[in-house]
Amino acid sequence: MPETAVAVRELTLGEAVREALAEEMRRDSRVFIMGEDVAEAGTAFKVLSGLVQEFGPDRVLDTPISEPGFTGIGVGAGMTGMRPVVDIMFGDFAGLIMDQMANQAAKIHYMSGGKWKCSMVLRTTLGATRRSAAQHSQSLHAWFCHIPGLKVVMPSTPYDAKGLLKSAIRDDNPVVFYEDKMMYKLKGPVPEEDYTIPLGVADVKRQGDDITIIATSSMVQVALGAARLLEEQGVSAEVVDPRTLWPLDEKTLIDSAKKTSRVIVVDEGYGRYGATAELASVIQENAFFDLEAPVKRMGAMHVPIPFSPPLEDATVPNERTVCEAALALCGK
């Protein structure tokens, strides 16, 4: 975050996303948005309201409900001079577009020996506890992270969302950009002036000495909340946000692990074969001899996400469960 004496403006994460898009669209006429209900409706989450009024329906395109098709059109447009920002309403629909993303977008540069590039951003959402049930609540970013050729961005604050989205749009590779549905209304400082945040640079969201909590997207706020609870118990937690899962800033993660010697990794995707496994592995591979305890993983339960509120709430980590895990790891 930039150091400044005067109080900076506050925006919600949704507003930060919209502002990043508007600024990039003004800056570069090749940037356009396509997806379901993105124009007049401004998406199901109203994140894009106003953009079609400024940029017109040629640059903010409502599509049919054809995720494979319009993602593919995005790939082709991104290869031939445009900079598409493709909107996939719910991250759960990833299952429909993995061929386009993993077999086409991700591979074109390599398969062509570096000749074609595919500059596109796929914006989508993650996050449960919205009472949307099993097909509208998943956080499936691990699928994309697994595929060489893709980049995966997971902002946790309005400031990061804006700076990272601008970098994603300017990037010459296919980038998957995740927004937590539950964080759209989260407010935070976002300066007026133009800035970008490079992909591949983690951010220490909170300094601490006793334990490192590596958290992504939605789970960063949970981790910060847990850190406050831990503070009360005399445990000083460091919260590290990788911000992009690929490229991954391993060094910042490892350095923090070495410093504190205890690590929890928290991510909202399913815990099994998920992003936490990679992050935990990076830590244990590189900080093994500095660790006092095994790296603890916390992700969504290995169950389809239930509708019923008390059940759904049990499936994802929260401040209390992260705090408890941290205390246990510290032997308290």
Partner 1 sequence: MSTVIAGSPPDSAIDNKLFLRMYRRMVMIRLFEEQVNDLYTRALMPGLAHLYIGEEAIAVGVCEALRADDYITSTHRGHGHCLAKGAAIDRMFAELLGKEAGYCKGKGGSMHIADPDTGNLGANAIVAGSAGIATGAAFSSKRLGNGRVTVCFFGEGALGQGVVYEVMNMAALWKLPVIYVCENNMYNEYTHISETAAGDILARGPAFGVPSESVDGQDVRAVYAVTKRLVDRARKGEGPAFLMANTYRFMGHHVGDISREYYRSKQEEQKWKSERDPIKVATEAILAQKITDQAALDQIQSEVKAEIENGVQFAMAAPYPNVDKVEQDVYA
Q: Note whether 89 binds ligand TPP by CB under 6 A.
A: yes
Q: Residue 200's closest CA among 162, 151, 238?
A: 151
Coil, strand or helix at 288: helix
31 interface partner picked from ligand TPP, partner 1, a second copy, none, CB below 5 to 8 A per type: none
Rg for the chain (alpha carbons), in Å?
19
CB of 13 within 8 A of CB of 186?
yes
Which window, 77-85, 89-97, 150-158, 309-317, contacts ligand TPP (CB under 6 A)?
89-97
Of 45, 55, 70, 93, the one binding a second copy (CB under 8 A) is: 93
Q: Note whether 93 binds ligand TPP by CB under 6 A.
A: yes
Q: Which amino acid is at 190?
A: V
Closest distance of CB 280 from ligand TPP, Å? 32
- For residue 143, give the H/E element and its range: helix 141-145
Which stretches of 96-229 are assigned E, i.e. beta strand? 120-126, 151-153, 174-180, 187-189, 203-206, 211-215
Q: Which amino acid is at 1?
A: M
Q: Which of 136, 141, 146, 302 is catalytic?
A: 136
From residue 95 to residue 134, the character string flagging contacts with a second copy as x (rule: CB under 8 A) and all else as - is xxxxxxxxx--xx--xx---------------------xx
Closest distance of CB 18 from partner 1, Å? 17
Nearer to ligand TPP, 103 or 321 (CB): 103
Q: Note whether 278 binds a second copy by CB under 8 A.
A: yes
Which window, 30-38, 177-185, 227-235, 286-294, contacts a second copy (CB under 8 A)?
286-294
CB of 161 within 8 A of CB of 183?
no
- The angle formed by the CA atoms of residues 94, 16 and 169, to the nearest 5 degrees, is 55
136 is catalytic: yes
233 interface partner picked from partner 1, ligand TPP, a second copy, none, CB below 5 to 8 A per type: none
Which residues make Cβ contacts (< 8 Å) with residue 155, sequence separation at least 6? 13, 161, 164, 165, 177, 178, 179, 217, 243
- Considering only residues 30 to 49 of the shown chain, the ones binding ligand TPP according to CB under 6 A are 36
Q: Note whether 297 binds a second copy by CB under 8 A.
A: yes
CA-CA-CA-CA torsion sign (115, 146, 142, 102):
positive
- Interface positions with ligand TPP (CB under 6 A): 36, 65, 67, 89, 93, 96
Instruction: Please list the active-site residues.
Output: 136
